[in-house]
Amino acid sequence: MDYRNALVTGGSKGIGAAICAALVAKGLTVYAVGRDQPALERLAEHLGPSLKSIAADVRDHDAIAASLGRTEIDILVNNAGGLSTVKPLHQQTAEETEEVVALNLTAPLQLMRLLLPGMIARRRGHIFNLTSTAASGVFPGTTTYGAAKAGLSQAGRILRYDLAGTGVRLTEIAPGRVETEFYLKAFDGDGEQLREKMYTHQRPLRPDDIAAVLISALQLPSHADIAEIILSPSEQAAGGHVYAPAPNIGDNVGDKSRSN
């Protein structure tokens, strides 16, 4: 691979940390962005000097640009993302709605805007956008998150037109359920019970699975560009439906099962 430097947002844990490890193993220097400085330090200890940490909020693209200085980034992995709660839009606070869009949509757009000119000038670059099966499926309680991920997905489709022939590739990876702390932080209730239900009784993807797919897209010859990858656990079909009883008909009518 001609690539030398990668920037991975949300590199401190979960899927991002696995991606950092896989890129370092391929001989790249990786700049990992996250707010949790101790977690970044632990990762740097584990991966060695090829892992450089940038302790910053991903929404602060000026701070990230200042930390990078003149470093030429060849690979941008827009991985940082998440949702603080799983509940209907009308039960979210204004701040939460704004934050979920800023984290999952605005920040990746700003980083692409910042780093693309250098990639295009060097005719060398690969952008990965981590979206979700929630970008196209229906998962109750994730209106803003799903909308932001769908926005990033569509941004990628449009941008690929603008990038055609520039030497810069763009790949969207839309995972289904991956075992990280992601959902456990967002759902109310007993986290351990949820972990048992989501990750023991049902087989999820592992962060390493996402990293492996990213590396295989990266290693394709430069004339080949995988546009979109949907990666789900074998037992998960993307989507989700709620069948609630119609008003005034009574509880014994209708299927109330949630399948997300």
Ligand X SMILES: NC(=O)c1ccc[n+]([C@@H]2O[C@H](COP(=O)([O-])OP(=O)(O)OC[C@H]3O[C@@H](n4cnc5c(N)ncnc54)[C@H](OP(=O)(O)O)[C@@H]3O)[C@@H](O)[C@H]2O)c1
Q: Which stretch binds ligand X (CB under 6 A): 23-31, 42-50, 52-60, 84-92?
A: 52-60
Half-sphere exposure for 119 (CA within 13 Å, toward CB): 27
The closest of 174, 98, 103 to 139, measured between CA atoms, is 174
Do the Cβ atoms of 50 and 22 come closer than 8 Å? Answer: no
DSSP 245: P
Count the neighbouring beta carbons within 10 Å of the beta carbon of residue 5: 18
| Euclidean distance between CA atoms 30 and 8, whole angstroms | 7
Binder among 3, 10, 68, 124 for ligand X (CB under 6 A):
10
Place of tokens 């060695």: 48
Using DSSP, state whether 166 is helix, strand or coil: coil
3 labelled catalytic: no
In the complex, minimum distance from the CB of residue 54 to ligand X, in angstroms, rounded to a whole number: 9
Q: Which of residues 226-245 bind ligand X (CB under 6 A)?
A: none
Nearer to ligand X, 80 or 116 (CB): 80
Q: CB of 121: closest distance to ligand X in angstroms?
A: 27
Among residues 73 and 130, whose Cβ is nearest to ligand X? 130
54 binds ligand X (CB under 6 A): no
Q: How far is the CB of 22 from ligand X (least distance, A)?
A: 14
Task: Sketch the per residue contact string, 169 through 198, with ligand X: x for CB under 6 A, - otherwise.
Answer: ------x-xx-xxx----------------
Taking the complex as a whole, the smallest distance from the CB of residue 191 to ligand X amounts, in Å, to: 13
Site map 107..136 versus ligand X, x via CB under 6 A? -----------------------x-x----
| Integer Cα distance of 241 and 260 in angstroms | 7
Residues 145, 183, 199, 243: which is the catalytic one? 145
E-assigned strand segments in 27-148: 29-34, 51-55, 75-78, 125-130
> What's the closest the beta carbon of residue 139 comes to ligand X, in angstroms?
10
d(CA 107, CA 127): 14
Give the residue with the Cβ less far from ligand X, 22 or 33.
33
Nearer to ligand X, 124 or 134 (CB): 134
**C-beta pairs of 92-100 under 8 Å, 24+ apart in sequence:** 92/144, 96/144, 97/144, 100/144, 100/145, 100/148
What would the two tokens of residue 3 be?
A: 């690539």
80 vs 214, which CB is nearer to ligand X? 80
Choosing from 39, 114, 215, 217, the residue that interacts with ligand X (CB under 6 A) is 39
Provide the annotated active-site residues: 145
* Residues in contact with ligand X by the rule CB under 6 A: 9-10, 12-16, 33-36, 39, 57-59, 79-82, 103, 130, 132, 175, 177-178, 180-182
